């Protein structure tokens, strides 16, 4: 089972994306609106991926990713951003963000993200078996 958090104040805009994440996968989703809520949840729950909107209730997505890596450098994170890929790379360099997401992620983006996460989980599980 893959457990994800989606941080957004625009839940309706993420419903198709949510469908892509959960269609034909073993992915469960927990929703939060702020970084504080997410960090409180992360303190008590096992999570494989945090998906954070460009702006959440108490900060922007890049700031959240910076705080996340300080608390848990191995946590997978995907961030919504309108920046060009080059601008996003410069803004997020060193944060270990696994994927930049478009401002209104759709079902296909959700499918792509869950496939990529499954590959990462598979690699981690193989390395544990050695």
* pTM for this predicted structure: 0.92
Q: Is 52 helix (H, G, I), strand (E, B) or coil?
A: strand
44-103 per-position pLDDT tens digit: 999 999 999 999 999 999 999 999 999 999 899 999 999 999 999 999 999 999 999 999
CATH superfamily of 2-129: Response regulator (3.40.50.2300)
pLDDT at 128: 78
Could you read off the pLDDT of 9-55 as tens digits, one per residue? Answer: 999 999 999 999 999 778 999 999 999 999 999 999 999 999 999 99
In 3D space, the residue among 11, 77, 1 whose CA is nearest the CA of residue 39 turns out to be: 77
Q: Compute φ and ψ for 44, nearest 5 degrees.
A: -120, 0
Phi/psi for 80 (5° steps) reads -75, 135
For the chain, the domains span 2-129
Structure confidence at residue 9 (pLDDT): 97
């Amino acid at each position: 089972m893959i457990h994800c958090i989606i941080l957004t104040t625009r839940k309706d805009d993420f419903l198709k994306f949510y469908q892509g994440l959960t269609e034909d996968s073993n992915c469960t989703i927990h929703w939060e609106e702020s970084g504080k809520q997410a960090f409180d949840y992360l303190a008590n729950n096992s999570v494989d991926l945090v998906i954070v909107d460009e702006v959440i209730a108490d900060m922007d997505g890049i700031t959240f990713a910076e705080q996340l890596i300080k608390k848990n450098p191995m946590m997978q994170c995907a961030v919504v951003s309108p920046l060009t890929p080059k601008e996003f790379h410069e803004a997020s360099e060193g944060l270990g963000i696994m994927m930049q997401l478009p401002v209104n992620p759709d079902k296909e983006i959700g499918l792509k993200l869950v496939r990529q996460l499954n590959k990462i989980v598979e690699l981690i599980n193989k390395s544990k078996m050695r």
